[in-house]
Every structure is written in C-alpha cells, then in structure tokens.
Amino acid sequence: MRAALRGERDAGDLEALRAAGNWVYAELGKAEQTRSQLLADGRNLWTAPPATGGYLVACWNAFYLHSLGASLLDADYATDPRTVGYVPPVTFEQAWSWFAAAEGWLSHARQAESNPDYNLAHLVMLPADLPAWAGPDPCPLAHLRALMTAIPPVRAQVELALFDLEKHAQSESQRHTVNTVRQQAAEAAAAADYAQTLSASATTPRLRSLTQAHIRRSAGIWFKVGQFAAMPSLVGARSAKTIASRIDPQVLPGGSRFDPWCLTDPDSRAQWQSDPQAREAIAAMWEADPDPAHTLTIHAQIQAALASGAIVPVTGDTMASHFYSCPWYPMYQVRRRVKINGERLSVPQRFTLDVGLRPPNRGGKFVRRIVRGPFASTYEVDYGANRRR
C-alpha cells in the first residue's frame, strides 16, 4: 500500500532480468582466464586478436551494465526497506535500460568467444555509450540517492583493468595511451567525488540537477575507460553522427505514393494484408493519426539509420521479427549510436516503433513511441483501439 501511494512500480520484471543476467559474473571470470591465457601464449591486451579484444569489451560492458542495474535496485531497497520489491518509475526505467543492454552485450561475448573470426568493432561502433538516461532533470531525490550508491563501486574494477593494461605497456606509444586513459579515469573519479560531496546538501532542484549531472558524467566515462582497458586500440575512436531524414510530401496520406502498409514488417506484410481485421486496423490507424507527417518522419529516420548500417533488422530469433500490435512494425538492433525522434539509442539495444490510438482505459490518445527491448515472443495480436477484434 505504501508503494502504491507513492506511485511505485512492481520490480518483479526487473528481478527476473537480474536473475537471467546473473551469469555475467561467470562470464567475467572466464574473461580473466582469457587475459591469463593471452600471457601464456606470449601475447597481451596490446597484441590480442580482434575476437579476443571484442570478447573482453563485451564482457566488460555486460558486467558494468548488469552491476549498475542490480546495484540500483539494491540501493533503492536499502533506502526504504518498507517498499522492497517496488521502485519509483524512473528507477524502474533506468534499471530496465541497463539490464536490457547487458543482455545484448552478453550475446556478443558468447559469439566472440565461439568464433575466432568474430570482430566486434566491425559490427558495432566502439567505444559504446551508456544507454540513454531515464527520468527528468533533476530526478527525484530517492532516485538520485540510489544512483549515488550504485555507480561508484565500479571504480575499483576499472582500476584493476587499468593496472593490467599499464603493466604490459612497452612502447612509448602504448604508455601514452595508458596515460590518456588514466587521465579519463581521473576525470570520472573527480566528477564522482564532487557529486558525493555535493549530494549531502543537494536539497534544492538546482543542486540536485548539478549532482545528477556529475554522477552521470562519471558513469559514462568509466564505462568507456573499461572498454579502453579491454581493447586499447579503441582510444581515439570517434562516435557516429546523428541520423537525420526528411520525407517526401507525396508519401503522406492523400499523396500519389502513399502506402498505408509502409510501417508494417516487410517479411509478414502479405500475411497482414490478407487479414480483414488488419486491413481495417491499418485504415483506422491512419484516419486517427493527427499528424501523419510526424509518424512518417520517425519512420524515415529509422529507414535512414538502417541504410547507413547504424541499425539492423532482428532476424534469426525464435520470436517473430515484428511488434505484436498494429501496424506490426519491424524490430531492430542498434549497431552504432543513433538518435531517432530525439531519443538516443545505444549499442546493442533492440527497439521498435509503436504507433496507434490507445483505448480509453489507456488514455485514449494517439501515440508514437520508441519501445526498447528486451522483447518476448507472444501469440497475442493487438488490432488497436476502435478496431474490430
């Protein structure tokens, strides 16, 4: 009842994600064995094959993100033991984002471990960024306190990785790289220390915003420093540019080239076109859309990202390749950081586009939103509000 009065959400789904990802710790142990084997083979992080470097990067990213998600939950429970099992909405969204991203990196780690020709740097843009931060600025005080508790513990793991990298630096160029990475680690530590000191008096929105900015900054830098320590060749790599796109007015409803099925997954489009309820649902969706130009602009941005290689379709899974509700939009996985509809999507997030009119019990509004994974397979089909079921 206390959690309900506060508007908190049941953390059962988050605990399921935590349990499913707990094997990241075993994978981290295997990564340490891989480092030792490199030395036994007369090599080190500086001379590691691409598959090995990619494996270590993926293991680090999975460990970092899973640890952040787990620590955020534990910190929230410790802050208020009377609502254990429930968390504020912003905490739920943040932990979900971290756990979901960790699952993608775990998949990359397993693939790199099993394939000596696997080159992670050819598949995703490295170094990767943290997933987008959830919540308003400033975030609620309880969430800020949880962040302050969850993020600093990764600092020790970063220091161990840097020590291992520095120990095997031999050339002047390698020592210069280590110095660069250590400088970034020092920047992250300074930001975290400043946030920790400031948090004691962060009682006003302005101070909370400043504290939040510094702790987030430290988390983002440490995430990249860990990647540099696993694959030092990434130092100096650049991030991708934002994808932008415009639409042709003729593809809008009423235009000469308007296709009402343009948002539907190409692989299953024929199936939906043969379904009378789906045909009715698609027509009703476009009729209800108050701003089809906005909808198609988002779609154009996604298509531009697809054409650039920043995202790829989700294929080869046991689940379908599209969302369960009208217009049955395809699902994609991020390969390089990209911004779509103003939202930053990071490697290796899976996402889709949810478009349509909500029923009265869910607000009754027309929505256009990016939905992030993880996704689960379902036999449910949603034809949408005000459409024949």
What is the Cα–Cα distance from 387 to 389, expressed in whole angstroms? 6
pLDDT recorded at residue 140: 79
Count of C-beta atoms within a 10 Å radius of residue 312: 14
The band of 260, judged by pLDDT with boundaries at 50, 70 and 90, is: very high
Q: Residues 79, 83, 84, 88: is their CA dihedral positive or negative?
A: negative
What is the Cα–Cα distance from 16 to 305, expressed in whole angstroms? 32
pLDDT recorded at residue 225: 93
Q: What is the pLDDT of residues 171-195, one digit of tens each?
A: 898 899 999 999 999 999 999 999 8
* Domain boundaries, given as residue ranges, for the chain: 2-234, 249-372
Count of C-beta atoms within a 10 Å radius of residue 313: 15
What is the Cα–Cα distance from 216 to 371, expressed in whole angstroms? 23
Q: What is the pLDDT of residues 358-377, one digit of tens each?
A: 776 666 789 999 998 888 88
The band of 41, judged by pLDDT with boundaries at 50, 70 and 90, is: confident
pTM: 0.69
Residues comprising the chain, all counted:
389
Q: Give me the helix-helix angle, 154-167 and 172-199, nearest 10°.
A: 170
The band of 228, judged by pLDDT with boundaries at 50, 70 and 90, is: very high
